Amino acid sequence: MSDAPHLTLDLNTPGVTRGHLIVPGGADQRELSLPVFSLNKGQGPRLLITGGNHGNELEGPIVARRLIEWLPEAQTCGRVIVLPVLNPLAVQAWSRNTPLDGLNLNRVFPGRADGSVTERIADAVSRVLLPMADTIFDLHSFGPTWDFPPAATTHPIADQDLMAKTLGMAEAFKLPLTLIWDYSDTAGMFDILAQDQGKVFVCAEFGGGAVGMDSLAIYEAGVRNALIALGLVDGKGEYPMFRQERSGQTLETHPSDELKSPAQGIFEPRCSVLDEVKQGDLIGILHPMESSTAEPIDIRATGASIVIAIRSGAHVKASEAVALIARRMKTSTD
């Protein structure tokens, strides 16, 4: 019970090693063993890839498992550590948060050794795995109540050098959307902890929650592109096909870019993700259901923008977000 978190494998062993990250037990949960894969090919970038941070985002763990299959053939240098499932309790329950303590793993970093199970997972990852990597890819999927295009995301970073490096890494995924997401609820996020330590951290996000063959192929291609850009894998990065196109764009979004529902009811989308809209364009319709005479309410774009997320888990409360919009990045050079 009093063990410190540790690995059952030696990451310095050349070649492939497999073992577990041991998260010590506590009053609420016995010890957890999280499967870890390591491929050490000597000098080069040190990359950590994690999935299953949120338990209802299952593309990440699948893509992580696929990487474990083909990396031994493909990786030419450096070290890659893959932890497909950060939070097995949440994944088993298909729940964003851990059912036992109700906590969102991605809001409790760096965790606490004497905390509840979610905090102990964060503590183990922060203390044992994070120091072993300079670059981290955390594979998310935005969650099952949203439609969201394949994207690599980061939050704004005060350190301009790290911001530029992180944005370059995110763009190297060559996914349809690269997003700088100015988000107000960032305390305790894994990426904030890593960035505070000067590390490059990119979240892959891939919406819908309905795990499908085509979306997994795009997701995997994005991660492969990023590995090529890091020099860990040979090859040429290429934009994956998405809606009959091979392209990507970099956008930024702010907390005020959330469109909220004016009332409780069922939200009907009237646009698709990555649609360009102008002020007044119809984004969706809110249908109040309390009375058969209640009028549907139009939800319209507040300005020229690009729709990046649309609510798909359709019943919403008043003031809940139903869409997220973004704009092209303003850069000093153009």
Site track 182-221 with Zn ion (rule: CB under 5 A), x = hit:
----------------------------------------
**d(Cα 15, Cα 149) in Å, to the nearest integer?**
35
CA 163 to chain centre: 17
Which of 143/176 has CB closer to Zn ion? 143
The number of residues that bind Zn ion (CB under 5 A) is 3
User: Which residue in the shown chain puts its C-beta closest to Zn ion?
Assistant: 140
Nearer to Zn ion, 119 or 233 (CB): 119
Query: What is the maximum alpha-carbon separation in the chain?
Result: 70
Is the CB of residue 162 less than 8 Å from the CB of residue 214? Answer: no
- In Å, what is the CA distance from 302 to each residue of 7, 293, 310? 51, 27, 15
* Inter-axis angle of helices 59-74 and 213-230, nearest 10: 50
**Smallest separation (angstroms) from Zn ion to the CB of 302:** 26
Q: Binding to Zn ion (CB under 5 A): which residues in 94-153?
A: 140
Which pair of structure tokens corresponds to residue 72? Answer: 């031994």
Both tokens of residue 33?
């063993």
Per-residue x/- mask for Zn ion, residues 269 to 308, rule CB under 5 A? ----------------------------------------
Give the nearer residue to Zn ion in terms of CB position, either 24 or 52: 52
**Unique residue bearing structure tokens 């905090």:** 119
Q: Which is nearer to Zn ion, 54 or 79 (CB)?
A: 54
Nearer to Zn ion, 27 or 187 (CB): 187
Which of 7, 23, 39, 54 touches Zn ion by CB under 5 A?
54
Q: How far is the CB of 109 from Zn ion (least distance, A)?
A: 13
ω into 110 cis (within 30 of 0): yes
Asked whether position 155 contacts Zn ion by CB under 5 A, the answer is: no
Closer by beta carbon to Zn ion, 144 or else 240:
144
Nearer of residues 190 and 267 to Zn ion, judged by Cβ:
190
Question: Measured from the CB of residue 106, what is the shortest distance to Zn ion in angstroms?
Answer: 6
Torsion angles phi and psi, residue 156, rounded to 5: -60, 140
With 0-12 CB in 10 A as exposed, 13-18 as middle and 19+ as buried, what is 229? middle
Question: Which of residues 46 and 54 has its CB atom nearest to Zn ion in the complex?
Answer: 54
Near Zn ion by CB under 5 A, which window of 53-61, 184-192, 245-253, 302-310? 53-61
Segment interacting with Zn ion (CB under 5 A) among 6-14, 50-58, 80-88, 160-168? 50-58
- DSSP bridge pairs for 78: 41
Whole-number Cα distances in Å, 116 to 80, 108, 119, 280: 29, 10, 5, 47
Q: What is the layout of strands, in order, in the sheet containing 265-269?
A: 297-300, 282-287, 265-269, 315-316
CA distance 173 to 145: 24
Shortest reach from residue 256's CB to Zn ion, in Å: 22
**Considering the complex, what minimum distance in angstroms separates the CB of residue 269 from Zn ion?**
21
Instruction: Give me the residues that bind Zn ion (CB under 5 A), please.
Output: 54, 57, 140
